[in-house]
Amino acid sequence: MNDRAYALFEERQRDRGIDLGKVKDKLKALKIETPSWGYGDSGTRFKVFKQTGIPRNPFEKFEDAAQVHKLTGLCPSVAIHIPWDKVEDYDKLKQHAAELGLSIGAVNPNLFQEDEYIFGSVCNSDPAVRRKATDHLLECVDIAKTVGSEALSLWFADGTNYPGQADIRKRKGWMQEALTEMYNAMTPNMRMLIEYKFFEPAFYHTDLADWGMAFNMANKLGPQAEVLVDTGHHAQGTNVEHIVAYLLDEQKLGGFHFNSRKYADDDLIVGAHNPYELFLIFYQILDASLDADAGVRKTADNIAYMIDQSHAIEPKIPAMIRSVLNVHTQYAKALLVNHEEVREAQSKQDVLGAEQAVREAYEQDVAPLLLALREEAGLPADPMKAYLQSGYGESILSRGKGGASW
């Protein structure tokens, strides 16, 4: 049945001037990293809900992540969070991942869970706390070396709740000191991805509050430091795709944490509320991948796409499958933008024509295309259905309740 639908799709795209061979190549190259913490128990500051069948350790988190990759073919790596994923023997974890067809992705230091960090970690006015925090960053560089990861993903909960609580400029300097030490410990193939967030858990000021602060820090550190955009980390109404375009042009966009938000850092399934925003982000990236400047093209083609979600009320594995498929769909739609048509309309100041050329791609039905690609790759036509029928969800119930949180 898909044959007819695909033939129609092909004809329509040919008429629109789209080279489907290129579209397919790009789609085959798409990789989305899933986060180990997305498989654990989660909640809000009000309650962490305990589900039955949650992984009890990092090894089981990888087993769950392997299901997502097996059924979608899109998620060959998994981000880890230290110490949530602390193990005695990281070689063993790496080996376990490899046996499951996975690799270990970004290493995320955790500087927000210990009592000493109540007034901050790398920005704490107490030099002993700053030392401890910096040592943890260095430990994560070592772990990345051991597991063969090339990405260190940094997010800091550091900030204050009240005016005058701390010296904002001094804290800025301390942050730079710690990151410089970490940067100098990285091997030449590693990249440091610096994440920003405007509030939470701190509510008055956050030390890396927006893309400009992360960008400035990355510039001071050097070429191996880049900005990570978490789609949930902006104020209402922020034009995220504009930030993306700006960072691409500066060759400083390193990666994404995908999720959707309505009010705060909601960490909900990506594309659930705002699929058009996701599409427009990809439109900017794909436009940059055609740029005349080789550096801009290289930046656009080397972005680390990662999911960062906390599924509080959803079953974890299907929620991850849904997320990954949503990204896949919006990426496919963005690949159907006819950039020449957009540029032509732009050159004539044809506002409506330009907007139409972009939106038209979003309105295409890419289901026949994605189905054809799955068939070609020997993947299930409907990964969600395949998961629900696989019996895996039932098999893990024997793990019981009380697995890992986040």
Least separation in angstroms between CB 264 and ligand AOS: 10
| Residues whose CB is less than 8 angstroms from the CB of residue 149 and which lie 6 or more positions away in sequence, other chains included | 103, 104, 105, 106, 107, 143
- Whichever of 265 and 287 has its CB closer to ligand AOS, that residue is 265
Q: Which of Zn ion, ligand AOS, none interacts with 108 (beta carbon under 5 to 8 A by kind)?
A: ligand AOS
Bridge partners of 274?
none
Helix, strand or coil, per DSSP, at residue 91:
helix
- Whichever of 274 and 364 has its CB closer to ligand AOS, that residue is 274
Least separation in angstroms between CB 99 and ligand AOS: 26
Return residues touching ligand AOS (CB under 6 A).
37, 108, 155, 195, 197, 230, 257, 265, 308, 406
- Whichever of 188 and 263 has its CB closer to ligand AOS, that residue is 263
Cβ(217)–Cβ(211) below 8 Å: no
- Whichever of 186 and 193 has its CB closer to ligand AOS, that residue is 193
- Whichever of 155 and 392 has its CB closer to ligand AOS, that residue is 155
CA distance 43 to 45: 7
Q: How many angstroms separate the first and last alpha carbons of the chain?
A: 42
Q: Which of Zn ion, ligand AOS, none interacts with 333 (beta carbon under 5 to 8 A by kind)?
A: none
On the 0-12 / 13-18 / 19+ scale of CB atoms within 10 A, 380 is: middle
CA distance 223 to 221: 7
Least separation in angstroms between CB 277 and ligand AOS: 17
Bridge partners of 108?
81
Q: Which of ligand AOS, Zn ion, none interacts with 364 (beta carbon under 5 to 8 A by kind)?
A: none
Q: Which amino acid is at 164?
A: G
Q: Which of ligand AOS, Zn ion, none interacts with 33 (beta carbon under 5 to 8 A by kind)?
A: none
Least separation in angstroms between CB 170 and ligand AOS: 24
CA dihedral 264→261→230→149, nearest 10 degrees, is 110
Return residues touching Zn ion (CB under 5 A).
230, 232, 257, 259, 265, 267, 308
How distant, in Å, are the alpha carbons of 138, 216, 222 from that of 185? Answer: 7, 20, 13
Query: What DSSP string describes 6-28?
Result: HHHHHHHHHHTT--HHHHHHHHH
Q: Which of ligand AOS, Zn ion, none interacts with 37 (beta carbon under 5 to 8 A by kind)?
A: ligand AOS
- Whichever of 308 and 341 has its CB closer to ligand AOS, that residue is 308
Least separation in angstroms between CB 195 and ligand AOS: 5
How distant, in Å, are the alpha carbons of 23, 228, 338, 360 from that of 19? Answer: 7, 31, 9, 16
- Whichever of 37 and 305 has its CB closer to ligand AOS, that residue is 37
How distant, in Å, are the alpha carbons of 13, 103, 183, 195 from that of 218? Answer: 40, 26, 10, 10
CA distance 389 to 326: 20
Least separation in angstroms between CB 209 and Zn ion: 13
Least separation in angstroms between CB 308 and Zn ion: 4
Closest alpha carbon to 250 in 229, 276, 223, 269: 223
Q: Which of Zn ion, ligand AOS, none interacts with 105 (beta carbon under 5 to 8 A by kind)?
A: none
Which residue's Cβ has the minimum distance to ligand AOS? Answer: 155
Q: Which of Zn ion, ligand AOS, none interacts with 70 (beta carbon under 5 to 8 A by kind)?
A: none
- Whichever of 202 and 300 has its CB closer to ligand AOS, that residue is 202
Cβ(116)–Cβ(132) below 8 Å: yes
Q: Which of Zn ion, ligand AOS, none interacts with 259 (beta carbon under 5 to 8 A by kind)?
A: Zn ion
Q: Which of Zn ion, ligand AOS, none interacts with 387 (beta carbon under 5 to 8 A by kind)?
A: none
CA distance 291 to 279: 19
- Whichever of 262 and 401 has its CB closer to Zn ion, that residue is 262
Least separation in angstroms between CB 255 and ligand AOS: 11
Least separation in angstroms between CB 257 and Zn ion: 3
